[in-house]
Amino acid sequence: MKRIAIIGAGISGLTAGHELKKVGFDVTVYEKEPLVGGRMSTRVKEGFHFDTGADHLCNLYTHMQAYCQEFDIEWQKMRFDTYGIVKRHRVVPLTSGIGFISKLRMAWMTKTMPRVDELFDFNSLVDQDVERASTVALRNLGREASDYYVDGFTSAYQFHRATELSLAPFLAVLNSIRRDGPLWNLHRTKGGMIALPEALAKGLCVKTSTPIQSISTTATDATLTFPDQSTETVDAVIMTAPAPVARTLLKNPTPETTVLLEQTAFSSTISIAFRVQKNLVPKKGVTWIPFVESPIISSYSNQAMKGDECIQGDESLVSVWLHESAAKELMQKSEAELSTVIRHELSRVTDWLKNPNALTLHDLQRWEHAMPKFDLGHQRRVKIYLDEHQGKNRLYLCGDYMNALWTEGALRYGQRLAARLKTDLGSA
């Protein structure tokens, strides 16, 4: 049997492993953390489910829904899922984030913009990878819509600014919002984000709490070296670690692999959950806080939308995410220091939190490599790599930074990668 080592038990690697095992490959997944899921992980503490990374799903995630049906995982609609945005220190409906003239300009742009049919695979969008999203937005929409909608959306979901986003993903998202409408309604998996990763992992040989020290590859095999200097030789390696981490693990990458990994940037954030009286937070699923309103907090969500798993008695959770610049500055602060800064900032920029002490720190997760930056040129670089260099020396790069947007994109990429390995190596 062809032996495959998968480095990292996130959704893309677990999906690839699941599909490879179906066709007879011998798959082992190595994960340095004690839990699977990566950015689709969930911690249960004091009865509350805290989704440490990805916070919500939607009905556009059709491949994920198919796996949920396969594993009998309940796909739940949120109890409420309206969006809010902070403007002038008030939480208003997302539709009230810009004025009438800005809305007219937005309507005209959505009517005249290039049509893009793909949302989760940016390899088909390289022709649009020619300009920054912020440049196009400012030219076509003006300052208000650029600051509150384009930059607000980017920082809420990617944590960095729209100045570091290519036009290609911007058009993909804007076309999908126009085309798919109600399919963006928020959903979750019962049991938290970790439910599907755990189900996939149960059918695989997954070694958690097992870090890898280094990986070397040749034209015929690959060797893993562990911290105790023991080794394991396999027929191929699927590397799902974020690009900066992958670069430190690979001893002899090809020049093309080195260039791609070194030119791939990731944003940082901190995800922090507070306990709060469940009726204090407005019943909006996700609220954006554009950088012009706060240089610290990029968004927050009322976890009561997820139902009983995020409610204990009269308390629920509110989850908060930070802008990249603030996260980098605060990354080494203690939990108490982080809690103080974020509680007071949320009180400053919203109209519902009068007393910062109404929030009690519950849990937090520091994400040094939270999300890939689909910046100008990245889409084209990845496509060239996939077409010409993927699989050389039995190394396959995997993950959302390979032009695969969000958790659904990463899952679909894992499926495509499994099909490619079956072609490259042949089934057992």
pTM of the model: 0.96
Residue 335 CB neighbours (<10 A) = 12
What average pLDDT does this structure show over 356-364? Answer: 98
The label of the residue with tokens 């060797």 reads: 223
User: For the segment 101-125, what is each residue's pLDDT rounded down to a tens digit?
Assistant: 999 999 999 999 999 999 999 999 9
pLDDT at 316 over 70: yes
**Residue 224 pLDDT:** 98
Q: List, for residues 140-180, the tens digit of each pLDDT value.
A: 999 999 999 999 999 999 999 999 999 999 999 999 999 99
> Residue 36 in contact with residue 66, Cβ under 8 Å?
no
Per-residue pLDDT tens over the stretch 251-307:
999 999 999 999 999 999 999 999 999 999 999 999 999 999 999 999 999 999 999
Write the CB contacts of 274 (distance below 8 Å, at least 6 apart in sequence): 317, 318, 320, 339, 343, 359, 360, 361, 362
Strand partners, 113: none
What's the token pair of residue 409? 């994109």
The Cα 362–Cα 372 span in angstroms is: 27
Helix extents (H) in 203-334: 243-249, 255-263, 324-330
List domains and CATH numbers for the chain.
3-42+193-265+375-425 (3.50.50.60), 82-112+132-165+266-372 (3.90.660.50)
- Rounded mean pLDDT of 226-239? 97
Task: State residue 329's pLDDT score.
Answer: 97
Asked if 307 and 76 touch (Cβ cutoff 8 Å), the reply is yes
pLDDT digits (tens, 9 = 90+) for 362-389: 999 999 999 999 999 999 999 999 999 9
Give CA–CA dist 19/129, Å, rounded.
31
Instruction: Report how far apart, in Å, the C-alpha atoms of 285 and of each of 92, 160, 300, 307 are.
Output: 13, 21, 9, 12
Q: What is the pLDDT of residue 428?
A: 44
The whole-angstrom distance between residue 294's C-alpha and the CA centroid of its chain comes to 22
CB 399 within 8 A of CB 40: no
Looking at the predicted structure, is the pLDDT value of residue 1 above 90?
Answer: no
Q: Please say whether the beta carbons of 151 and 299 come within 8 A.
A: no
pLDDT tens-place string over residues 77-91: 999 989 999 999 999
pLDDT given at position 135: 97
| Signed CA dihedral, 54, 59, 61, 62: sign only | positive
pLDDT level of residue 427 (50, 70, 90 thresholds): low
Using an 8 Å Cβ cutoff, are 306 and 79 in contact?
Answer: yes
Burial of 255 (0-12, 13-18, 19+ CB in 10 A): exposed
Structure tokens at 113: 């913009």
> What's the Cα-to-Cα distance from 201 to each of 11, 19, 208, 273, rounded to whole Å?
10, 12, 10, 26
Do 319 and 56 contact (CB within 8 A), yes or no? no
pLDDT for residue 426 = 83
Q: CB 223: neighbour CB atoms within 10 A? A: 16
- DSSP symbol at 264: -
Across the chain, what does the average pLDDT equal? 96
Consecutive H or E run containing 268 = strand 266-277
88 and 351 in contact (C-beta within 8 Å)? no
